[in-house]
Amino acid sequence: MSVFAAILIGLAMGAIFGMALEKGRVCEGGVIVCQMQMSRHAMLKMFLSAVATGLIVLAILVGFGFAKLSPKATLFAADIVGGAILGVGIVIAGACPGTVLAQIGTGYKDAIFTFIGGLFGALAFTYMEPNILKPVLTTGAYGRLTLDQLLGVPFPALALGFAAIIIGLLVWLEKVSPWEKEIGPNADGVPEDPALPAAVAAAAPSR
Amino acid sequence: MLGLTKRAWSPYTAGIIVGLLQIPAFLLIGTALGTSSSYVTISANLAQFVDPSIVEIKYAANHLGGAKNWWQVALIAGIVLGAFLSSRLSGTPRWGHSPFWARAMGAHTPARRYAMATLGGFIMVFGARIADGCTSGHGVSGIAQLAIGSFIAVTAMFAAGIITANLIYKRV
């Protein structure tokens, strides 16, 4: 595929992705941090919905031979250390590497700083990778290991079963904590201020 | 259900749309959704102006060009565009920073928030590059492929995130 075609496809897919991130409200730092405080679950609901849909889509694509999986290699130390550092960064920034771009689109100015910080983080990694980080990165390397291989179950069957479990969990989660309450009166993940009546809080400018 | 002028869709609708994006990703590009390696493509291309020898680093060279790398850069540019359109159509544009931060941290200046955002962005992408994926690459795409490494990375991400969020912020 030509680079030009790839860019056009990327822009179109990204526009849909960005719209979903904005409408799903995970473009709000409050939604992300409250998820990490485990007080509200809009982010987890959207995340698990995307995973369940992906499992079903890939079960079909792989089952009928339309596509091949491209799972990332299992790098035990890198996955744990990198994943943990990522989690700390997400909480400090109030964004993920993808959702920060949706924040920029909605107009949040702090997101531009998050993005620039991210570029420097990528650059720091690039310079450190060959000499300093290699020992971490290559400890516990198991190649492209997947759960279906480990269990000896065909991917489509396991994927559909796992999707069913996730959907069950989501049904329960929605019952316990309805999403419309979780996003708050101003749809920014900020709950009603107990000090203010709800109507005043909803009318307050979101500065 | 999919009104563009609505300020929010259910997280289920929004998540299903993201999951469906795996179809063009796998069929047209031959890869899964992800966002964090585009930070390497952008920063390495920019760094070339200052340090041309960066191309000698294999990791940078692998990310400098090619259809898949530029596809992901276009993807994140598209995210900005889509979120911009969505927020304008629903009349919920934002500016400055979210009032959430005052609730979580008490009174603070914009400068303090911007410093935190910069630091958080740095840590977030640095970690994502060590793990070789972020919330989309390891989370949404990796778990959907039942990759063991992605289960580990996402568990570590949420565990560290939950501890940090409860340590450094007031409970909101």
What pLDDT shows up at residue A99?
98
Contact between B97 and A110 using a beta-carbon 8 Å cutoff: yes
What pLDDT shows up at residue A199?
46
Helix (H) or strand (E) holding A129: none
Contact between A96 and B142 using a beta-carbon 8 Å cutoff: no
What pLDDT shows up at residue A200?
46
Query: Which chain B residues are Cβ-neighbours of A187 within 8 angstroms?
Result: 7-8, 92
What pLDDT shows up at residue B112?
94
What pLDDT shows up at residue A110?
97
Query: Which chain B residues are Cβ-neighbours of A205 within 8 angstroms?
Result: none
Label residue A207 by pLDDT band (50, 70, 90).
Answer: very low
Query: Across the interface, which of A6, A29, A97 has its CB nearest the CB of B67?
Result: A6
CA max distance for chain B: 52
Indicate whether A203 pLDDT > 80.
no
What pLDDT shows up at residue A1?
84
Label residue B172 by pLDDT band (50, 70, 90).
Answer: confident
Residue A142 main-chain phi, psi, to 5 deg = -115, 10
In terms of C-beta density within 10 A (0-12 exposed, 13-18 middle, 19 or more buried), how is residue A173 classed? middle
Query: Which chain B residues are Cβ-neighbours of A74 within 8 angstroms?
Result: 147-149, 152
Average pLDDT, stretch B128-139?
Answer: 96
Indicate whether A206 pLDDT > 60.
no
What pLDDT shows up at residue B1?
58
Model ipTM value: 0.97
| pLDDT single digits (tens) A105-118 | 999 999 999 999 99
Compute CA distances B111 → A4, B157, B169, whole Å: 39, 27, 18
DSSP-assigned beta bridge partners for residue A141: A75
Is any Cβ of chain B less than 8 angstroms from the Cβ of A131?
Answer: no
| pLDDT single digits (tens) B45-100 | 999 999 999 999 999 999 999 999 999 999 999 999 999 999 999 999 999 999 99
| pLDDT single digits (tens) A57-72 | 999 999 999 999 999 9
| Residue B118 tokens, joined | 């910069």
DSSP-assigned beta bridge partners for residue A146: B147
By C-alpha distance, which of A10, A41, A29 is closest to A100?
A29
Query: Which chain B residues are Cβ-neighbours of A150 within 8 angstroms?
Result: 148
What pLDDT shows up at residue A196?
55
Considering chain B, what percentage of its residues have pLDDT values greater than 90? 95
In terms of C-beta density within 10 A (0-12 exposed, 13-18 middle, 19 or more buried), how is residue B148 classed? buried
Contact between B21 and A13 using a beta-carbon 8 Å cutoff: yes
Query: Using the 8-state DSSP alphabet, how is residue A118 labeled?
Result: H
The residue of chain A nearest to residue B143, with distances taken between CA atoms, is A51
Enter the pTM of the model: 0.94
Report which of residues A42 and A1 the model is more confident about.
Answer: A42
Say which residues have a Cβ less than 8 Å from residue A109's Cβ, sequence separation at least 6.
B95, B96, B97, B110, B114
Q: At what angle do helices A76-93 and B110-131 cross, to 10 degrees?
A: 160
The residue of chain A nearest to residue B93, with distances taken between CA atoms, is A106
Contact between B81 and A9 using a beta-carbon 8 Å cutoff: no
Assign A142 to helix, strand or coil. Answer: strand
Query: Using the 8-state DSSP alphabet, how is residue A74 labeled?
Result: E
pLDDT, mean over chain B: 96
Contact predicate A121/B39, CB 8 Å = yes
**CA dist., res. A82 & res. B131, Å (int):** 4
Query: Across the interface, which of A19, A36, A55 has its CB nearest the CB of B83?
Result: A19
What pLDDT shows up at residue A134?
82
Query: Which chain A residues are Cβ-neighbours of B114 within 8 angstroms?
Result: 109-110, 113
Contact between B160 and A88 using a beta-carbon 8 Å cutoff: yes
What pLDDT shows up at residue B131?
96
